[in-house]
Structure 1
Amino acid sequence: MRRSLSAALLFAIAALFLFASFSLHLSRSSVSRSDLIHRYPIPSPAADHHLLRDDDQSPPLSHVSSVSTVAVLLPAWKVLIIVSPETSLSEKDRYVCVFPNNRTSRARFAGILPSRNRTAFYCAMPNRVRRLRPFLQPVLSRKSQIINNDSTTAPEMIRWTFLVYESFSTEDDVVLFAKGLNNRQGANRPPSEFRCVFGDASKPDAVRTAVTSSNQEVFRCPHPDPTALNDEANARISLEIVDGNRVVPSVAYYTAPKRRRMSSSSNAGPMEQPSHQLCACTMVYNVAKFLREWVTYHSRIGVDRFILYDNDSDDDLEHVVRQLNQEGFNVTTSFWIWPKTQEAGFSHTAVYAKSLCNWMMYIDVDEFVFAPNSWSESPAPGRHMLKSLIPKDPSIGQVSIHCNEFGPRTRKRTHWKRHKSIVLLEAVEHSLLNVIHHFDIKKEFRTKQLSSEDAIVNHYKYQAWPEFQTKFRRRVSAYVVDWTEGLNPMSKDRTPGLGFQPVEPKGWPEMFCEVRDDRLKMLTQKWFWSSASSKMVWQS
């Protein structure tokens, strides 16, 4: 009997202990999950971007209206939420994404899209939403009153692989950027297969114009008659596939040209000239720690302005850019979220920067231009140096420069694999077609190839393994496959001996180091070493 009472007493004590522990765990879990919903402001573009986390707790719901948005499903279950142009947001408000089954995830500020300055957020798709089909668009809700989103009438989420994602209005026409139409390099569908659509394509008042050019992800068409648009300020623009009258989903808006360009024969005076002789453009991802060196070097030898297409960096890029501008450099960033759109970004620059720059140099942040013949003995850099590479012959519209590919040490490969270019923007062909930092140019212009002694681009391609691994996980060219995928193994864009797994190959620091070449290293030490700080000037 005593044994039975003792056993019962021990069982009761154990049960009480387990209940208390479980209650404490629930309490702590509740606070933690609540924090995910209620404790985040809209960060500035320079703020750290933390990992996206989703919430599996059903929050209190209300029936207030949501923010007007459109959602695009990106890779890795990341959802881009784009706020409509007419919607105003307050920095005092905090936001969450509410999915159709009322699962939520926090909305993290992503950036400002170039077209119409629209605000964009990121949300992670919660695990319990990924199993639902079809993928319906979430709504953006103020955290103070999370709305009920149990409706099955929500539109299906747009996929980033079939989308008109940006537009730019020139004085003469409209340039559209679209994925999913010309999917193979060199295989472009004829312009006659498409029409540009201004406004809601399902309504009779939508305006259509012919497509005049179809190359890669770039399409061009005439401006619509402004008197035919009922609401020009909020007209969405897209592409219609003529065969079947299928309209490509779009997040782009039309902007009417502000003014016509003045011709040299006009009574109003001569054509406006760009304000910079030489600019540099590149697409960047997490290059903040390298940017100061690249900008300082090229600015000192002649680049007047730098234009960066930010491909979703989550490092300290904006902070570094702000510091550089405060120090007198001229650096502009444009938020360009779209995956694998390097060629499209360069095409965008060719029209966007035409009024700003005469010549545009297209190189990456791990590339440095060097003229061995004429610069090696110079005691200091000069702003005439790069401009001296620009020919005075008016028939030349592009300068092509060989690339040296360097390994993890100051040694390079023996053979040239790539060329980079300096392009006269006025000479760029109407199609805006470009491949590997080279543009098609108009028939009346030609390309000049420089010798490797007159100019060379030192491409520090095969960096220390952690940097190389990060870089090649995000190949931004439209037609280059992910290096982790076992596709097209003989591609010249693949790294010899690397394979398909993100594992450092044996002997990596010694690979690709066939010929020693430290000429640029010695020259930059002479030009930029500060004896006062015992550092290079960009390290001070």
Structure 2
Amino acid sequence: MRRRIHTPPALSIFISVLLLASFSLYLSRDVFSGEESRPSPSLFRKRFSNLPLNFAVTENQYRHRSSHHVSSLGELSPDAILFPDWEVLLVLSPRDSLPSDSSDGYFCLFQNNATSPARPTGFLPFHQLVTFKCVLPSSVRRLRPFYQPILTKSPEYYWLGNDSGSPELLRWSHLAYESLSTENDVVLFAKGVNQRRDRSRPPSELRCVFGDDATKAVRTEVTISSQEVFRCRHPDEASLRRLFNGRDDERIKISLEVRQQKKVTVVPSLAYYSGPRKVTSEKGKSLVCACTMVYNVAKFLKEWVIYHSKIGVDKFILYDNGSDDGLEKVVEQLLLQGYDVKTLLWPWPKTQEAGFSHCAVYARDSCTWMMYVDVDEFVFSPSWLKSLHPSPDMLKSLLPLPRTSHGSSSSSSGLPIAQIMMRCLDFGPSNQTSHPIQGVTQGYTCRRKMEQRHKSIVLLEAVDTTLINVVHHFQLREGYRGKRLTRGEGVVNHYKYQAWSEFKAKFRRRVSAYVVDWRQESNPMSQDRTPGLGFAPIEPKGWATKFCEVNDSRLKVATQRWFRFGLDSPTGYKMAWQD
């Protein structure tokens, strides 16, 4: 008689769980193994059967992404960068595509199954890469390392990734983030290679790397290394075709290889290569353009554009640093009114100098002179005070005349003038407690005596190949010189210290890479710091009356004469930029 073996209940449960786990691991092994094994079509359909129909991925999409970090639910896994203030920027590769229905309703799914809403932030303009932003949840901030999130429309799903095989979040402090090709070379922008403004790594220590994988790439010589700008030669097209089997060059990443003391490293990259840039301008060059970097300036933009357009700026180029205040709607209104305004998404924090360098290359074929001033800055000449109407000739009168074929005239030293520098007059809150509804030129009329900064209008073809710029003025090529205007010739009214409700926003976002971060308790005597301001966005006592050493209503009077119309009972008049 055979004896019956009695298995304890607890052991039976344990064996059942173990068998179930083993079977689950068997089903999912192809997602995480990194091997070339692929799931059968029947298994594929079964796995993705619970996804919404409008987000079903194809087997080919699955096969492509199975070599990267994805969840078994087939959601998108874009490159992701950790920005300051715990912001995460997600950039989809050229091979990824969103569902046709919408880019709304997405979430970032993180390694501990925490989620945060993913806000669509537009296209990176030069390679049409889709971007989203989300906030790193507090529960993730305690973990190390940080892994790249999954972009999903189904936040109730669990993170199924294998931490050891998942890529870490890219760090903003060490990254190649943008590139722009010219006819003769490639301009690459990268963080963390040149740590100081006044000290750059020798080009001989660098190579440009064209390829997603450094082991399978084409390398070219770096000719310029300055600030965050690196210029290198185009790769040989035949070599690219052989290496990538004719793949579209817009899908090839470009980065920097750093060689130092027998150690070779490649900077992580989000920048893509495009071939030599051929520009044809049907309209011809504009004489004067304006380039600036903006962040949440929707309420100020109309006044700035209308004013400068009427005194001679033909075209405006805005590098949008991630605005979320309806800037695009204001730009649409200006376009409908006939103003030439172009917006380029530039989400990279503290890269004002790099953005201006990019603009100097990007706009060279469409603009002769470029004015670099911010949206709270207005170019003004006392000689315009008696004019009954603004005129496009006003701004041109500040440029060197008579113009040669290069657009500049010779100075007493014999060198042509290619850059006009203007002093900044810094205006204070002028007893305002909120944004003046008639505009900054009307509301702020009290300023400091001394100036600290200078802004410029530069001849783009005279900009040095290094693209070095500091505080809104550029290093010029040999054979050109700059000219500094007197206060009687021309100044910039800088409405810098506005009503506290407006000024405190600067604590979160200062765009220049080389100015002091007010939140850090370092370098307290820097000229970039506001006198009387601490290390937190707390309104100093008596803010509304600070920085009032000179009453200066000259631009207020002139703009009232030029742009005032109608009557409005609370204020007595309206300005042309008021809705």
Quickly name the TM-score band, shorter chain normalised.
0.7 to 0.9
Q: Amino acid of the residue matched to residue 359 of structure 1? A: W
| SS at structure 1 position matched to 2:160 | coil
Q: Distance in 1 between matches of 2:212 and 2:375?
A: 41
Query: 1:169-188 to 2 correspondence within 5 Å?
Result: 169-188=181-200
Q: Secondary structure at the match of 2:272?
A: coil
Distance in 2 between residues matched to 1:488 and 1:257, nearest whole Å: 43
1:468 paired to 2:478: no
Please identify, of 63-72 and 380-389, the stretch whose mean Cα deviation from structure 2 is larger: 63-72
Q: What is the DSSP-based 3-state SS (H/G/I as helix, E as strand, rest coil) of the residue aligned with 2:394? A: coil
- Of 364, 368, 382, which aligns to 1:358? 368
Q: Are 2:342 and 1:332 equivalent residues in the alignment?
A: yes
Q: Describe how 1:134-283 pairs up with structure 2 within 5 A.
A: 134-143=145-154, 146=157, 148-152=159-163, 153-203=165-215, 205-229=216-240, 230=244, 231=247, 232-243=249-260, 244-259=263-278, 274-283=284-293
**Large movers: runs of 4+ above 4 Å:** 144-148, 271-274
CA distance in 1, matches of 2:306, 2:143: 51
Query: 2-side partners of 1:62 and 1:424: how far apart?
Result: 51
Corresponding residue for residue 436 of structure 1: 471
In structure 2, the CA distance between the partners of 1:512 and 1:62, relative to structure 1 (3 Å rule), is: closer
C-alpha contact (below 8 Å) 2:71/2:150 kept by paired residues:
no
Residue 260 of structure 1 and its aligned partner are, at CA, apart by: 8.4
Measure how far apart 1:198 and its partner are.
0.2
1:133 pairs, out of 141, 144, 169, with: 144
1:258, distance to aligned residue in structure 2 (A)? 4.1
**What is the SS of the residue equivalent to 1:386?**
helix
Confirm or deny: 8 A CA contact 2:448 2:548 kept in the other structure.
Answer: yes
Find the counterpart in structure 2 of residue 390 from structure 1: 399
8 Å CA contact retained: 2:279, 2:365:
no
What is the distance in 1 between the residues matched to 2:135 and 2:375? 30
Structure 2 alignment gaps of length 5 or more: 1-50, 55-69, 404-408, 411-415, 431-444
| 1:233 match: secondary structure | helix
Asked whether the 8 Å contact 2:179–2:187 carries over to 1, the reply is yes
The residue number in structure 2 matching 1:405 is 426
SS of match in other structure, 1:86:
coil
Shift of 1:66: 2.5
**What residue in structure 2 maps to residue 318 of structure 1?**
328
Structure 1 position 292 matched with structure 2 position 302: yes
Instruction: Select 1:481's aligned residue among 513, 516, 527.
Output: 516
Kindly report the root-mean-square deviation, in angstroms, between the aligned alpha carbons of the 2 structures: 2.2
Please give the per-residue CA displacement for 1:4-24, whole angstroms capped at 9, x wherever unaligned: xxxxxxxxxxxxxxxxxxxxx
**How far did residue 131 of structure 1 move?**
2.2
Aligned residues: 472
Measured after TM superposition, the shift of residue 68 of structure 1 is 4.4
Identity percentage over the alignment? 56
Could you report, residue by residue, the CA deviation over 1:420-456 in whole angstroms, capped at 9, with x for unpaired residues?
Answer: 0000000000000000000001111110111111111
Return the TM-score normalized by structure 2: 0.78
| Structure 1 alignment gaps of length 5 or more | 1-37, 42-60, 262-270
1:310 shift after superposition: 0.8
Deviating more after overlay: 145-154 vs 401-410: 145-154
Once the two structures are TM-superposed, the CA of residue 481 in structure 1 deviates from its matched residue by 2.1
TM-score relative to the length of structure 1: 0.84
1:364/1:539 CA distance change after superposition, 3 Å = same
3-state SS of the aligned residue for 2:144? coil
Residue identity opposite 1:150 in structure 2: G
Is the 1:78–1:123 Cα contact (8 Å) retained in structure 2?
A: yes
Give the equivalent residue in structure 2 for 1:47. Answer: none
The separation in 2 between residues aligned to 1:470 and 1:314, in whole angstroms, is 13
**Offset, 1:273:** 8.8
Q: Secondary structure at the match of 1:389?
A: coil
SS at match of 1:512: coil
Instruction: Show the 5 A alignment for 1:28-67.
Output: 63-67=72-76
Kept in 2, the 8 Å contact 1:473–1:482? The answer is: no
Matched, 1:513 2:548: yes
> Does the aligned pair in 1 maintain the 2:425–2:448 contact within 8 Å?
yes
Of 78-87 and 340-349, more deviation after overlay is shown by: 78-87
Which whole-Å deviations, capped at 9, do the CAs of 1:140-166 have from their partners, x for residues lacking one? 224399474331211111001110010
SS at match of 2:423: strand
- Correspondence for 2:490: 455
